[in-house]
Amino acid sequence: MVYRVRGEIVNMVKYYKAYRFRIYPSPDQEQQMAKTFGCCRFIHNHMLEDKIREYKENGKMLRTTPAMYKGEFPWLKEVDSLALANVQLQLEAAYKKFFREPSVGFPRFRAKHHSRDSYTTNLVNGNIRLMGRRLKLPKMSPVRIIVHREIPEDGKLKSVTVVREPSGKYYASLLYEFDSCENQAAVKIREDKVLGMDFAMAGLAVFSDGSRADYPMYYRKSEGKLAREQRKLSRCKKGSRNYVKQKRKVARYHEKIRNQRRDFQNKLSFYLSEQYDAVCVEDLNMKGMSRGLHFGKSVMDNANGRFQRILEGKMVRKGKAYVRIDRYFPSSKRCSCCGRIKGDLKLSDRIYECECGYRGDRDINAAINLRQEGIRILHCSGDEHQVTA
Ligand SMILES: [Zn+2]
């Protein structure tokens, strides 16, 4: 069994943080952005197609660059070349991943109506710059931006991702690099400050101390409203004016819910990273988990994945530990009291009962197991984190 222990902050010199702001492009700027989204999609699909062909014919990895396509499609030169270069990098990474782990499948084509409109550009020679209420981006005049939160002065701008949400709103996500100057020394971990966390399907997370974190009521309320608007949409005639209007409305609700979820995740992860020295979680295989479960669960899994990432970032930055436990560790099947493994545990068994007399909530049992395993790993992970009882 291979365990990975993250939180090796001692050697970490830099960290990254993204700030997302609403932007208000003018019609001209919107047009240029739309062009860039389109070109990125175009180049992604063309490169992928050529890669697939090469793979089918020769079983080899084909290297493609945007420059290879600019001769045949000269209009690609009209958009930010760094945005296209980033498409190449992302595709290359996804493609390499496919060669390493074929089970993840081939990278996908980007369909016009089912993929998010976005592109990423990097800072090169001052081509992007935040100037008060304006954001300078390549190939267009400065775009109006609302910087609603302060960016620490020591941050170095690295890249900007421009997104158009289906609701029609535009955002810019600014990625900053920081030298990790906070007390980098690894925190001495106290065992009573180690938390096990398991993702339950119904709520967001279940903890080893028996508590749960669930989305607040207002989130459920918005979800209900979204369902209602979605039903209305299904009754509209496709392509009609009402349909288009209703679709926008649904998209706005989706966005609202996502923002509420993000807000909740940010607050919860902040709280946990303040409260605990180490958090132990199962390294989820998101894909395997969403299979066979009903509606919308893949969205849930993505949300959990995002939550894990931000929590890990916060823990690591505070010199604390974030322990990912191999997903083959039998966290659900094991009895947290005596260690017996229950081979025939079914997904429908919500209560874990053991011959030793232990009886408890299935998810809490799993969270306790993750905590115990995490403590074991921390004890043998070397001298970086000292663990004391
Ligand atoms: Zn037992």
Question: What's the CA gap between 196 and 323, in Å, rounded?
Answer: 9
272 CA distance to ligand 1 middle (Å): 29
Asked about 282 being catalytic, the answer comes back as yes
**What is the reported pLDDT for 273?**
93
354 CA distance to ligand 1 middle (Å): 5
CA proximity to 157, closest of 186, 123, 184: 123
190 CA distance to ligand 1 middle (Å): 26
Q: Domain locations in the chain? A: 14-179, 185-388
Decide if 377 contacts 323 (C-beta within 8 A): yes
277 CA distance to ligand 1 middle (Å): 28
Question: What's the CA gap between 279 and 199, in Å, rounded?
Answer: 13
Task: For residue 347, count CB atoms less than 10 angstroms from its CB and return exposed for 0-12, middle for 13-18, buried for 19 or more.
Answer: exposed
pLDDT, tens digit (0-9, with 9 covering 90-100), for 346-357: 878 889 999 999
351 CA distance to ligand 1 middle (Å): 13
Higher pLDDT, 17 or 9: 17
* 277, 301, 363, 373: the active-site residue: 363
pLDDT, tens digit (0-9, with 9 covering 90-100), for 297-334: 455 556 778 888 889 888 887 888 888 887 778 888 99
Residue 4 banded pLDDT, cuts 50, 70, 90: very low
Q: Does residue 97 sit in helix, strand or coil? A: helix
Question: What's the CA gap between 252 and 167, in Å, rounded?
Answer: 5
Provide mean pLDDT across the span 259-273. 91
Say if residue 247's pLDDT is above 60: yes
Residue 279 banded pLDDT, cuts 50, 70, 90: very high
Asked about 353 being catalytic, the answer comes back as no
Q: Mean pLDDT, the chain, as a whole number?
A: 83
The residues with which 324 forms a beta bridge, in sequence order, are 4, 281
297 CA distance to ligand 1 middle (Å): 31
CA proximity to 277, closest of 195, 209, 208, 211: 195
* 282, 301, 312, 373: the active-site residue: 282
Residue 203 banded pLDDT, cuts 50, 70, 90: low
* 80, 198, 229, 312: the active-site residue: 198
What would you report as the CA-atom Rg of the chain, rounded to the nearest whole angstrom? 24
Residue 153 banded pLDDT, cuts 50, 70, 90: confident
**What is the reported pLDDT for 160?**
94
